[in-house]
Structure 1
Amino acid sequence: MGQRVAVVTGAAQGIGLRIADLLRSEGYEVVGFDLRPTPGGVVGDVADPGDVAALAARVGSRVDVLVNNAGIAGIVPFEDMTTEQWSRILSVNLTGPFLLTQALGRVMLARGSGSVVNIASVAGLTGVADRAAYNTTKHGLIGLTRTLAVEWGGRGVRVNAVCPGWVKTEMDVESQAGGHYADTDITDHVPLARFAQPDDIAQAVSFLSDPTRSGYINGVALPVDGGWTADGSWQSLRLSKR
């Protein structure tokens, strides 16, 4: 048995970069797929069928894990959202995983083994104001995860999702620079009282990628959110316990 191969989209920064580094340290050959160059990676747009076909040709029959991490955010009131904004977010966050999972899933199905891990969000489990397109894509990605888990599980391919809460990445810096929220808006809400770090998400991805550790886990949407989606408390009650 040769070296395991993992494809990680959006691997040039943030969560994707940490996932790629962790899987590489665990013995995977990692093929990054990003608009920017990555070590040993392929440059391309996840929403472009031609770029995805080129990636599939590059990995051939050698793919064990696909991590659909690439994504973009858009913070705008729904009534002000343009068709172009809506379409771009859906194309990257939902059509991209469709294209990648179909192309590389066929390879896994032919071999009778593999793991797909979709990076969804707590925004796929709840509603977050002013992020209608983003929320829609993450809800849709969880739906795709569950559907493919049912379709492919009996053929040896597991499909799961990780649902991060707020993570300290370049995307967070950009959102805060726009004045949309402050650190305390997040830390006051999270029972663990902190942002996630990219490694928190990467560890969950590593677990779900490994058939030895998670071989009977299929179709889950795993929150990695410090308890964000579990907490129904009001703010003063939550903070009074700290």
Structure 2
Amino acid sequence: MSIQYDMSLRHGVDFDFRLDGKVAVVTGGLGGIAMATNAALIAKGARVAILYPSFEEPRVQAAIEELGANNAKAFPCDVANEADVEKAIAAAHERFGGLHLLVNAAGCITLTPAENIGYDEWQRQIGVNLTGPFLCSKHFARVVLASGHGGKIVNIASQAATVAIDQHCAYTSAKAGLIGMTKVLAKEWAPRGITVNTVSPTVVLTPMGAAAWEGEKGENMKKLIPVGRFAYTDEIAAAILFLLSNGADMITGADIMIDGGYTIA
């Protein structure tokens, strides 16, 4: 007996990846990946709630004007502080009337030999890179689950979560934990309409990336990347945009490597 398959069956993917009517929370303030993501989201019709650390306060207004005051609103937030996160998520929800998307782009790194890592340095990297995404995801999910309309979360991990890189002990521990956390959240929340994924970049040409990989160290690192260069922020934003679109409705718990082949070399 032959099986008949309806070739007209489609999910209804919008190949323009439009996000009209969506509201995205993006952590990371005015950082390179965060700002590239903000611009990409707004270009596709979303509005953006930017969570920024206090030290960026002097530059926030100019960034909002650049993005468009009707498109973006900024909220101060230490992502490693639960009271701050709860307050910022609630304020964003009240301001926009709903939340649909979350991008955990806040991050920090210091390169130190493992035996020299101080307790405060360790705690800071774990706090910003792992605890922060958990707290933001938790409070975002509470809003979305109560709304019943579903949502999407993208966490920024790293190639350092997959391969060992010198002087990355604290950073790698946080990012590997982030990938593990993402898988658990994906499993728990998928039945209730929330997908959770990670993207794992190589070195990205941001102020943080440039400072960590300047000079000879950076040139040597590029030689280990098959495509021969570091990533640009809009390349990371493009992957994030896809995962936030309805084209990725069937993707959850995944990690997209954006490393120019570094982890397979």
Q: TM-score, normalised by structure 1?
A: 0.90
- 1:20 aligns to 2:55 (yes or no): no
Q: 1:72 & 1:43 partners in 2: Cα distance? A: 17
Q: 1:28 & 1:2 partners in 2: Cα distance? A: 5
2:233 match? 198
- The one-letter code of the counterpart of 1:8 is V
Q: 2:174 & 2:113 partners in 1: Cα distance? A: 16
Show CA shifts across 1:74-103 (max 9, x none): 100110111111111111111111110000
Q: Secondary structure at the match of 1:182?
A: helix
2:167 match? 130
Q: 2:35 & 2:256 partners in 1: Cα distance? A: 20
Out of 205, 208, 212, the position equivalent to 1:168 is: 205
- The one-letter code of the counterpart of 2:251 is I
Out of 99, 104, 107, the position equivalent to 1:68 is: 104
Mapped contact 1:142–1:221 kept (Cα < 8 A): yes
| Offset of residue 112 of structure 1 | 4.0
1:240 match? none
2:7 match? none
2:9 match? none
Show CA shifts across 1:174-223 (max 9, x none): 2135x6x5332222111111110001100000000112x11101110110
Mapped contact 2:27–2:105 kept (Cα < 8 A): yes
Q: 1:125 & 1:34 partners in 2: Cα distance? A: 28
Larger radius of gyration: 2
Q: 1:214 & 1:57 partners in 2: Cα distance? A: 27
Q: Secondary structure at the match of 2:99?
A: coil
Out of 64, 70, 89, the position equivalent to 2:125 is: 89
Count residues with an aligned counterpart: 228
Mapped contact 1:112–1:155 kept (Cα < 8 A): no
1:115 match? 152
1:235 match? none
Q: TM-score, normalised by structure 2?
A: 0.82
| Offset of residue 107 of structure 1 | 1.4
1:238 match? none
Q: 1:102 & 1:226 partners in 2: Cα distance? A: 32
1:154 match? 191
Q: Which range moved further: 155-164 or 38-47?
A: 38-47
Mapped contact 1:11–1:20 kept (Cα < 8 A): no
Q: 2:21 & 2:91 partners in 1: Cα distance? A: 16
Mapped contact 1:153–1:218 kept (Cα < 8 A): yes
2:224 match? 189
Out of 37, 52, 69, the position equivalent to 2:85 is: 52
- 1:140 aligns to 2:177 (yes or no): yes
Q: Which runs of 5+ in 1 are unaligned?
A: 232-242
Q: Secondary structure at the match of 1:95?
A: helix
- The one-letter code of the counterpart of 2:77 is G
Could you tell me the percent identity over the aligned residues?
A: 36
Mapped contact 2:75–2:92 kept (Cα < 8 A): no
Q: 2:20 & 2:183 partners in 1: Cα distance? A: 30
Q: Secondary structure at the match of 1:134?
A: helix
Mapped contact 2:114–2:167 kept (Cα < 8 A): yes
Q: Which runs of 5+ in 2 are unaligned?
A: 1-18, 65-72
- The one-letter code of the counterpart of 1:86 is W
Q: Secondary structure at the match of 2:128?
A: helix
- The one-letter code of the counterpart of 2:117 is M
